[in-house]
Structure 1
């Protein structure tokens, strides 16, 4: 991939990030991520399908609920919204190509600031889409997925497709239509729905069934429109339990699976899972991955982590090799993502104010996943990991256990078996052994 810049170079002094191997002390080089290295039959690039999150990397400014912006971006100074947006896109593609990231992801308002005029917003977005087409053609970078931000504007204070005011719902429809059009124009491979405020603060003023019916109707309407426009990709729903609402309807992977089944959406939708959202739901990310895999719905993931001392969505870059190795064990055994990839939905810290910090963050995250991929493949190929797990269930592989799985035993048959066999033996789950096994391969 060649580096693409606009008229101005925004990240001066930083060249394209290269693989230099494990002995390298260069903080702006990959030690583990070697894009063309073949692991488990595919290159790392094909397995991991890394993407840059446009919003955190180029719209985030370091502000938090207790303080103003700390990141002053040289691409965010022009007064004209469209010209400012073009500078931002120049900077983003310079960064993405210097990082050798194959994909990016965006919300509609990430690309260009919106007003309250629907037609004007559509014109602005169209202008940036045309500019984005040029950038993609020059660089070879692709759009992993697009989406619409239908949660930040004050009109969405009570939700978007679940808003009790139809007028607000219609505005959400206008944004989603435009975002779908943009995704198609930029040859996006998927489209995401994140219900940022699709939930409630109090049941005292909420008709929950009606709101969920509206959400399903909205998803069907958007899906039908996209298909008529020729969109062949997958639609993703991203679960999150709360924040900003008290309770969101896409609470976790299991909840979304049930929702998709209830409303006949399984044929078109899969899950885009986020690590920090799993934490907020009281789950491990491994759990969320496994739920999606077991239901055939693992579409994509947003890579980040939370902070155990902060009970909110801190969106930090991933850095725990053991945890990520456990993710990759599940993803590899599932055969990978269905259409999606690994989007770094993570942001540099409020006090990380140098342009190089954005590079350090992505280099670290990409290396962690590459290393975890190698570890997981070695475990699956060289250890007794799969056998140890399978052996826990070997009583169902033959005899009465197999008959039970095949639906051939009655409840009385189970009673008679228990009575004739006496107390079962205690069999170790070998949890510590398996945890040590991962550490051995690290």
Structure 2
């Protein structure tokens, strides 16, 4: 179970988010007895985060550069100095704990300089700042022993085509990825680079809309050997997909990497980043993960407490609910596989491709002429058979809820 459930704490939500939204101020105290915006506060968050992870048995964390230190408003060199200082402190404080980074990333969407994108910016100067942040982020990944580096293209997209050179922007995003890959391999980063698809918010049209779009982008630019998907459940919802769908698309393309474990609200049209509590969703997610041979990365709780849940106790309860929901999902997913009825049904449903013309189609030896001749000999095709969706949904219910006796 531990191997399949490598849980991680998202620094930004758990140690930084206070419940601020567009309608109101924060409700949770995340000062940790230090002045926000100072290096003392940055170190206090490290101490609080380590204590939190140790009490819950969590062994991994994930962060953006801007989560762990206050960004200097005028000098990126000072920001980089602070990043070195805080990661030195992080290594010191985690020594002997078994706690380490799952993946790192750079915040290339919050600062006003990224209002038109980062790698996709119309400004070459801004592109270079994005490259500088990626460079430092990859260096920190190596320093902290992280097994992944993530690109989330929150601003890599456009609002209107009237002012957009789409080809130039996408070419430049790919160039940033190439630079990051080449530099990472040069300095000894052996982990995976991840793309985290999201269809919208904050940009109206984002270039990494969903897993299929991101995979097509990577293959077009020859980046598919080093990059994999970091799939977030809530982003799948926004793309009009299920969490299971995005995982399956990643798996069948050999690009399943890591997971941001949360859930969205189907009644709301934005990224709510709720802690996962839906056992159906986690069961089908872990079903896909197990069938794909497991995750190379882990399960990062990119999730935040609801705004009224503003106490330290609420932070612990939320993680416990999320971890228990995925643990139960893992148990039930393994039971579904062991039960065998779903696999047997799918195998039988496509049995016509195991022999005769079906086998020739799969092996690539059939031609349009041979398929047409087969159809002519049949005169009319046989009934393709019922999909029995309701039966299979009943199987899932049976495995989830039937008593052991």
TM bucket, shorter chain: over 0.9
Partner residue, 2:361: 404
Match of 1:380 among 314, 337, 341: 337
Check the 8 A contact 2:8/2:62 in 1, yes or no. Answer: yes
Q: Does 1:395 align with 2:352?
A: yes
Partners of 2:393 and 2:101 in 1: how far apart? 37
Q: TM-score, normalised by structure 1?
A: 0.88
- Listed as ranges, the gaps of 5+ residues in structure 1 are 1-43
Partner residue, 1:360: 317
Partner residue, 1:273: 231
Q: Does 1:75 align with 2:32?
A: yes
Q: CA deviation at 1:84?
A: 0.8
Q: Does 1:48 align with 2:11?
A: no
Match of 2:146 among 188, 206, 210: 188
Partners of 1:228 and 1:413 in 2: how far apart? 51
- Listed as ranges, the gaps of 5+ residues in structure 2 are 401-405
Partners of 1:225 and 1:323 in 2: how far apart? 37
Q: CA deviation at 1:220?
A: 0.7
Partner residue, 1:237: 195
Q: CA deviation at 1:159?
A: 0.3
**Which stretches of structure 1, 4 residues or longer, exceed 3 Å deviation after superposition?**
none
Q: CA deviation at 1:77?
A: 3.5
Q: Identify which range, 413-422 or 310-319, moves more after superposition.
A: 413-422
Partner residue, 1:253: 211
Q: Does 1:288 align with 2:246?
A: yes
Q: CA deviation at 1:439?
A: 1.3
What are the residue-to-residue correspondences of 1:263-342 with 2, within 5 Å? Answer: 263-338=221-296, 340-342=297-299
Partner residue, 2:87: 129
Partners of 1:79 and 1:412 in 2: how far apart? 72
Q: Deviations over 1:361-388 (max 9, x none)?
A: 1111111111111111111113322111
Partners of 1:283 and 1:68 in 2: how far apart? 32
Q: CA deviation at 1:45?
A: 1.0
Q: Identify which range, 145-154 or 227-236, moves more after superposition.
A: 227-236
Q: CA deviation at 1:410?
A: 2.4
Check the 8 A contact 1:322/1:439 in 2, yes or no. Answer: no
What are the residue-to-residue correspondences of 1:17-32 with 2, within 5 Å? Answer: none
Q: Secondary structure at the match of 2:4?
A: helix
* Aligned residue pair count: 398
Q: Identify which range, 418-427 or 141-150, moves more after superposition.
A: 418-427
Q: CA deviation at 1:258?
A: 0.8
Partner residue, 1:176: 134
Relative to structure 1, the CA distance from residue 74 to residue 168 in structure 2 (aligned partners, 3 Å threshold; closer, same or farther) is closer
Q: Secondary structure at the match of 1:120?
A: helix
Q: Identify which range, 422-431 or 263-272, moves more after superposition.
A: 422-431
Partners of 1:334 and 1:414 in 2: how far apart? 32
What are the residue-to-residue correspondences of 1:54-93 with 2, within 5 Å? Answer: 54-75=11-32, 77-78=34-35, 81-93=38-50
Check the 8 A contact 2:200/2:209 in 1, yes or no. Answer: yes
Q: CA deviation at 1:211?
A: 0.5
Q: Secondary structure at the match of 1:373?
A: helix
Check the 8 A contact 1:240/1:251 in 2, yes or no. Answer: yes
Partner residue, 1:227: 185
Check the 8 A contact 2:258/2:299 in 1, yes or no. Answer: yes
Q: CA deviation at 1:252?
A: 0.6
Q: Deviations over 1:247-296 (max 9, x none)?
A: 11111101111111111111111110001111111111111111100100
Check the 8 A contact 1:190/1:236 in 2, yes or no. Answer: yes
Partner residue, 1:102: 59
Q: Deviations over 1:81-105 (max 9, x none)?
A: 1111001110011101111011110
Structure richer in helix, relative to its length: 2
Relative to structure 1, the CA distance from residue 353 to residue 158 in structure 2 (aligned partners, 3 Å threshold; closer, same or farther) is same
Q: What value does the CA root-mean-square deviation take over the aligned residues? A: 1.2
Q: Does 1:143 align with 2:101?
A: yes
Q: Secondary structure at the match of 1:113?
A: coil
Check the 8 A contact 1:76/1:88 in 2, yes or no. Answer: no
Partners of 1:408 and 1:111 in 2: how far apart? 57
Q: Does 1:415 align with 2:402?
A: no
Q: CA deviation at 1:415?
A: 2.5
Partner residue, 2:403: none
Partner residue, 1:21: none
Q: Secondary structure at the match of 2:94?
A: helix
Partner residue, 1:424: 382
Partners of 1:261 and 1:377 in 2: how far apart? 32
Q: CA deviation at 1:409?
A: 2.4
Check the 8 A contact 2:43/2:86 in 1, yes or no. Answer: yes
